Amino acid sequence: MADFDVVVIGAGNAGLMGALTCAKKGAKVLLLERHNIPGGCATSFCRGRFEFEISLHQLSGMGSAERPGPLRSVLNSTGVLDRLEFIEMKDLYRVTYPGKLDIALPTEKNAVVAKLQETFPKEKDAIAKFFDFVYAFFAEVIGAFYLADPDISPQKYPLYFKYALVDTQTILDEYFKDPLLKLALSVYWTYMGVPPRHLPFSDMAALLFSYIEFKPYHLKGGSQMLSNALLESFRSAGGKVRFNCPAERIIIQNGAVVAVKTALGEEISTRCVLSNASAITTFVELLHENDVPAHMYEQMRARTVGTSFFTIYLGMDCEPGRLGINETTNFISTTEDADADYAQSKRLSCEKSSFLLSCYNVADSSFSPPGTSQAALVTMKYAEPWLRLSPSQYYDEKFRCAEQLLRRAEKVFPGITSSIEEMDIATPLTHMRYLGHPGGGAYGFDQYAKDSTLFVPPTPPIEGLYCAGSWYGSAGYQPTLTSGASAARAILKKLR
């Protein structure tokens, strides 16, 4: 008899959710995590009197208790909801392109439309039509894709069949003329990691629909609270966890998973493995190439490692209002050309990189000690140029980039630099170190249309092996938590 029914590799969102879902149904589960805390990206760290949120800026798909979104339902099924407090944000986002555009969007659909129409009166009708289209199209995406309607046909889902793979830029160009309006409507592309020209409109529609219909949220105490709650529930359900314990090998016999070897040399027999480690770690490092069907490597060779981030975590000695930070989510743009903006993510310099300033204290003054606030300044950056630096160059570049971003933040939020009490900086190499993912890829692979989950089913290519998380589908909290739950359902079906 195997030591465990399931060994879960990685305690990120998907690993935690998968482990908990299996344990709650009576499976014997062991969770292995290479780091010393649970959460992966969903963690925090402390400096001085501040506890900094690593990653979560806007939680999607929550909805209210009265009108639950899909994520609330997933969390509810695990029983962690009662342990957590979710804070609804009062704004969708503010977009600032200094000297050209400054618009803050509310969270209600009609108010979003009205605000955009007031700012761009020449495109009033197109704005209304665009939102009607987003809603009609996404209703079909839900039926055809998420609910997997067995009667799917072009007659029943005409918008889905026509637009599912059309890129976001094409749709924006079809509806609008003003590049600033297109900018105001598409800043969420940075949440997917590829610019509108490469981003399937189904993804952009999902973001707009989900954040408007179910509102953006954050978690009281930050995402670490969610990771801790998932872990505590997992332990209460009888699950076992080992931190500082990387998986080193998944052992396959006769085409099926039989055991996991840890970096500490222990061999643990199991009926199933759920990997939340990156796809490259799983299929190149943890598995022997003879055990992996060749098509897996072909599939991966056609993909590219996605973006990571450069983030400045700021603890400030004043409330956000004093610095003119009145919205939680602030996109500061340098160009209306998203392709040019995206090109900046492949360079070291932050001089021309658009960035996001996220400040939870706007919606929740208790997020940091009284009279203070904390903010994250974050911009997309790929790892390659960082990997080419020597240690001393790395140190210099890190601070040069931080100065560049802070100088630009100062222009939009005067006084921000002189109010800094604590500061820390994360680069793509920081994410590589803490997550163990190639390139520090917090979104997994680049999310191009050709690699969409519409085409690449997350089915296990090896008996007993299941995978979940940002490397195996869409990235973000809602998708990764959901993918952990659905991988667990597949495992439970096999175990039965």
Ligand X SMILES: Cc1cc2nc3c(=O)[nH]c(=O)nc-3n(C[C@H](O)[C@H](O)[C@H](O)COP(=O)(O)OP(=O)(O)OC[C@H]3O[C@@H](n4cnc5c(N)ncnc54)[C@H](O)[C@@H]3O)c2cc1C
Rule CB under 6 A: which residues touch ligand X?
A: 9-15, 32-35, 40-42, 55-58, 60, 246-247, 276-277, 281, 309, 311, 378, 431, 435-436, 442-443, 469-470, 475-477, 480
Q: How far is the CB of 426 from ligand X (least distance, A)?
A: 7
- The least distance separating ligand X from the CB of residue 417, rounded to whole angstroms, comes to 21
| Amino acid letter, residue 84 | L
- Least CB distance from residue 442 to ligand X, whole Å? 3
DSSP per residue over 202-263, as a string? HHHHHHHHHHHHH--EEETT-HHHHHHHHHHHHHHTT-EEESS--EEEEEEETTEEEEEEET
What sign does the dihedral 210-213-218-224 (CA atoms) show?
negative
Minimum CB–partner distance for residue 187 and ligand X (Å): 13
Nearer to ligand X, 263 or 387 (CB): 263
φ, ψ at 46 (rounded to 5°): -110, 140
Closest CB to ligand X among 144 and 312?
312
Tell me the closest approach of the beta carbon of residue 100 to ligand X, in angstroms: 25
Phi and psi angles of residue 313, each rounded to the nearest 5 degrees, phi first: -95, 120
Q: What is the DSSP letter of 153?
A: -
- Identify which of residues 200 and 469 has a Cβ nearer to ligand X in the complex: 469
Q: Which two tokens stand for residue 416?
A: 């921000």
The H helix count followed by the E strand count for the chain is: 16, 18
- Closest to ligand X by CB, 157 vs 354, is 354
* Residue placing its CB nearer to ligand X in the complex, 35 or 182: 35
CB under 8 Å to 92, separation ≥6 — which residues? 105, 106, 107, 112, 211, 212, 216, 329
- The helix/strand/coil state of 454 is coil
As a whole number of angstroms, the distance between CA 59 and CA 363 comes to: 13
Distance between CA atoms of 343 and 339, rounded to whole angstroms? Answer: 6
Closer residue to ligand X (CB): 13 or 21:
13
Round to whole Å and give the CA distance between 246 and 17: 19
To the nearest whole angstrom, how small is the minimum distance from the Cβ of residue 188 to ligand X?
A: 10
Of 140 and 330, nearer to ligand X (C-beta) is 330
Shortest reach from residue 173's CB to ligand X, in Å: 27
- The residues, any chain, with a CB within 8 Å of residue 182's CB and separated by 6 or more, are 172, 173, 176, 196, 336
Cβ nearer to ligand X, comparing 63 with 175: 63
Q: To the nearest whole angstrom, how small is the minimum distance from the Cβ of residue 374 to ligand X? A: 14
